[in-house]
Amino acid sequence: MLNKLLKSTMVRVIIGLMGPLSLGWAADSPEIRDQAPQHYTVVHGDTLWGIAARFLNDPWAWPAVWQANPQIHNPHLIYPGNVILLCSIHGQKILAVDPGGGCSAIEARMSQQGGSSVAEEGVVHLEPQVLDQGDSSVIPTIPLRAILPYLNASRVVDPDHLKAAPYVIAGNNGHLSMGTGDQAYVRGKAISQQTYAMFRPARSYLDPETHELLGEQANYVCDVKATDTQSAEKVTLVTVGRMKDALQIGDRMLPIKQSVVVPVYYPKAADGVKPGRVLGVLGGLDNAGKYDVIVINRGARDKVEEGHVVSLFHHGMVVEDRQTSELIRLPDELEGVAMVFRVFPKVSYALILKSTTPVHVGDDSKPPHSGDF
């Protein structure tokens, strides 16, 4: 079912890391890796983030280039079989999809377009050529399988809102656990014949510094349809439909949010966002590694945006200087890089894209610096 969902929504879920796919930098730009390949053939299973990391020290540095081109509004797509070239044209380094003929053909096409197209900032812009294939084969920016369960199946909800939501008080015929086709009684206001989503409160998120209650993690359980509403007691009979887990007494009923399965991401450094902390690891894990999802204590009110990239740090150990008997705190240690893919008012979900050591609750999140990846 997951494969079907991914294929059917791939056009909408393409993540626009590469904007204009052919980009350029000054020849001495530090963004190009010293060991960057001269060409790379895209294969099934690649991600745009991974491809960018082959050529750039900092994959999130791409937007600093392609955003300088105001004519580009939509992300360009690449497919397995495309060959990405690193060329030097008119003293500039550019990345381009090979149209056939290599860098010479790319230079000739640039000349036909009226020169090298070097922008005032010294940036080369070149439109890509892509294979005419089905949209289901398009290369995404990050692994969709890693984030799909957390796009619609989990929410961080205001605690008061969740507490006020209708809740299951009993199962039909005294059942304590209900599956597809079973019925249950919900206490609270509901509209007859309308479909709702049921969520189970999982945990509260407290800010480790201010102790503010930032939100309540609510995990998706199932869909239900209100079939019979008794206004006097505000009790509604619901029927369980699509489900992830069995419905239980105490589960809360919330409106179904109609949203795009996966939004378009434009990875960029989280500059200007105050450093934060890791509040939790989704999926019931004690620590996190590559492609795990973490929760950080920065959200929309802190100007966090989808696509923001943060570096993750473990607090430096406190050791004793045996010469002076002083306690010295060592520098924080870089342990990974993550990208925010879902933002709530006070917290955000982020996918770990690189991890050198396990990430733990309480670790720091900070805007990335060149070389962190």
Kind plus residue range of the DSSP H or E element containing 309: strand 308-314
Instruction: With a cut of 60, say whether residue 64 has pLDDT above it.
Output: no
SS3 of residue 175 by DSSP: coil
CA 116 to chain centroid, in Å, comes to 35
For the stretch 70-114, pLDDT in tens is 222 333 467 788 888 887 777 777 777 787 888 888 778 767 655
Helices (H), 83-134: 102-112
pLDDT (0 to 100) of residue 22: 41
Q: Which CATH architecture has domain 268-366?
A: Beta Barrel (2.40)
SS3 of residue 148 by DSSP: helix
Helices (H), the chain: 2-8, 10-13, 48-55, 63-66, 102-112, 144-147, 159-164
Nearest-CA neighbor of 219 among 165, 151, 153?
A: 153
Q: What is the mean pLDDT of residues 146-167?
A: 90
Say how far apart CA 253 and CA 262 lie, in whole Å: 23
Kind plus residue range of the DSSP H or E element containing 296: strand 293-296
SS3 of residue 5 by DSSP: helix
Residue 352, exposed/middle/buried by CB under 10 A (0-12, 13-18, 19+)?
buried
CB contact set of 50 (below 8 Å; sequence gap of 6+)? none
Residue 190, exposed/middle/buried by CB under 10 A (0-12, 13-18, 19+)?
buried
pLDDT (0 to 100) of residue 95: 73
Say how far apart CA 270 and CA 198 lie, in whole Å: 34
For the stretch 268-315, pLDDT in tens is 889 999 999 999 999 878 899 999 999 999 999 999 999 899 999 999
Greater confidence (253 vs 141) lies with 253
The letter for the amino acid at 358 is P
Q: Locate 102 and state its tokens.
A: 């290599």
pLDDT (0 to 100) of residue 370: 78
Phi, psi of 144, rounded to the nearest 5 degrees? -65, -35
Q: What is the mean pLDDT of residues 32-52?
A: 84
Domain range annotation of the chain: 2-145, 153-255, 268-366
Say how far apart CA 135 and CA 77 lie, in whole Å: 9
Nearest-CA neighbor of 294 among 344, 220, 349?
A: 349
Which pLDDT band holds residue 211 (cuts at 50, 70, 90)? very high
Percent share of the chain, pLDDT over 70: 77
Task: Yes or no: say if 218 and 163 are a contact pair by the CB < 8 Å rule.
Answer: no
Say how far apart CA 300 and CA 81 lie, in whole Å: 39
Full-prediction pTM beyond 0.85? no
What is the residue-averaged pLDDT of the chain? 79
pLDDT (0 to 100) of residue 18: 39
Percent share of the chain, pLDDT over 90: 47
Instruction: With a cut of 90, say whether residue 66 has pLDDT above it.
Output: no
Nearest-CA neighbor of 360 among 283, 280, 301, 299?
A: 280
pLDDT (0 to 100) of residue 134: 40
Task: Yes or no: say if 277 and 214 are a contact pair by the CB < 8 Å rule.
Answer: no
